[in-house]
Structure 1
Amino acid sequence: MIVFALLAAIAAGFVRGLAGFGLSVVLVPVLQLAIAPSAAVLVGLISLFLIGLTDLGRVRRDADRSAIPISALALVCMPLGLWALTALPVEWARVLIAAVSLGAFVLVAVPLGKVVMPRLPAMGLSGFFTGFFGGFAGMPGPGMAPFYLRGRLEPAAARASMMAIFLALTPISAAFFVWRGIGGWNEVKLALMLFPAVLFGDWFGHRAFGRVSKTQWQVATALVLGGAALGAMWKLLA
């Protein structure tokens, strides 16, 4: 299982470096097959915070101001997701966490045609689902990905904005987990053990991002998330 966890950490780091989100989408479904879903979520949150610290300069330079209200609303909604995670039986939590991974792919890849939502309601929905998915599955990305990947921002700004939201949410949500008695030093140690692998994958993701166009970035992000989601569902069913 350690080998699978390290490989998942490398893949998760790569996805995060390329897309700006997706680390937990890849990492948590693999970890929650061996440890409790809530513990896997906490490891994902700690990993997101650690890797976010390496991108402070990029966040300050490129992030859009929309990251501020989305982060604030997500913080308000995150306890609802955490309540759902702790209230559901473990078996249902495992299934739904894998479903969130699949949903991340669907939200990014499904064509919307001419459907356009006004900016303020879109930001509100993004903040709500970012917080809920962050608390329930340690995956804030599926909530914010449609807003930023389908919006008018350039990839660098969209990617940095998502990184900024992760950086704001993850330490507070991780501390809330510990305060509620969900996890502790064991999850911190596991996240630290996996961090070199995450950092290695993230470095390759950053290099790949600098070599692709906007369309290629969107397609590559959808394909990687789709592969990760199918892999998570296959492992869960197996």
Structure 2
Amino acid sequence: MPDLLALPFLVCVAVACIAGMVRGFAGFGAAMIMTPIFSAFYGPAVGVALCLFLEIAVALPVVPGVVSLVDWRRIGLLLVAAAVGVPVGNLVLTLAAPEPMRWAISAIVLGAVALLASGWRFAGQPRPATTLAAGVISGFLNGLAGMAGPPIAFYYLAGDETVTRVRANLTTYFVFVDLVAMAAFVGRGLVDWDTVGLGLVMAPAVMLGGVLGTKLFPLATEGFYRRLALVLLVGVAIGSLIL
């Protein structure tokens, strides 16, 4: 049982609540807020696993309200591809030097932000090959750093769907890809009962934040949503350098 009055725990609970609000509003972005802080206090492996656990928890009260808007065929393709990428990223997490990976993630995300900010969009529906590539990269980053968001956020924001549908697809996708990543962590023995205990105690905070973020979403314009998404992606790029 964690010390509920310890400063690291209290800071992480506050961060989890804020991250939940971002996830409830935007459909992604919680990991980039939680992972650097959690990793600083508990180490990268525990921090990433804890982040995955809370990302699943925050979606539980949100998903029922968005499933009717989900394109399940595309989500299925993304998840099949992500299932391939997750164990590779998880293996790299345990074997590779972290410094080059942090810079590589940052460069990829900033490049995607620059492309989106330029106004570039897909012409028509993305091809299956594009969908599969986005899923593989997302799964890899989720297994590596608990950050499945950037490739999928770019994939959907570069299309012509409404932000309501974008948020619905992002919210639903991350539930499943986080479950795949969590299974990979458990299979490699990177999740112990202390991590589970931390996750259970922090879950109410992140879920409360998710509910608040969901209530704020209808108040935002499409332009504001897209600008916020770009800001979150820049935050991912910066956060990846301090994981």
Q: TM-score range by the shorter chain?
A: 0.7 to 0.9
Contact persistence 1:63–1:164 (CA under 8 A): yes
Q: Residue 36 of structure 1 aligns to which amino acid in structure 2?
A: G
Between the aligned residues of both structures, percent identity stands at 28
- Aligned-residue offset at 1:49: 1.4
Distance 1:196 1:80, change over 3 A: same
| TM-score (normalizing by structure 1) | 0.86
Q: Residue 126 of structure 1 aligns to which amino acid in structure 2?
A: A
**Which of 47, 51, 75 in structure 1 is aligned with 2:83?**
75
Contact persistence 1:131–1:143 (CA under 8 A): no
| TM-score (normalizing by structure 2) | 0.84
- Indicate the RMSD between aligned Cα atoms, in angstroms: 2.6
The residue number in structure 2 matching 1:52 is: 59
- Structure 1 segments of 4 or more deviating over 6 A? none
Q: Residue 40 of structure 2 aligns to which amino acid in structure 1?
A: L
The residue number in structure 1 matching 2:3 is: none
Determine if the alignment matches structure 1 residue 136 to structure 2 residue 144.
yes
Aligned length: 232
The residue number in structure 2 matching 1:203 is: 211
Contact persistence 1:29–1:98 (CA under 8 A): no
The residue number in structure 2 matching 1:186 is: 194
CA distance in 1, matches of 2:131, 2:69: 18
Determine if the alignment matches structure 1 residue 107 to structure 2 residue 112.
yes
CA distance in 1, matches of 2:50, 2:161: 30
SS of residue paired to 1:34: helix
Equivalent residue runs for 1:1-238 within 5 Å: 1-65=8-72, 66-89=74-97, 92=98, 96=101, 100=105, 104=109, 107-108=112-113, 110=115, 111-114=117-120, 116=122, 119-120=126-127, 121-227=129-235, 230=238, 236=242
Query: CA offsets, 1:52-93, max 9 Å, x none?
Result: 22233224211123111111111111111011101124xx26
Structure 2, unaligned stretches of length 5 or more? 1-7
CA distance in 1, matches of 2:225, 2:175: 22
The residue number in structure 1 matching 2:4 is: none
CA distance in 2, matches of 1:169, 1:224: 19
CA distance in 1, matches of 2:192, 2:103: 23
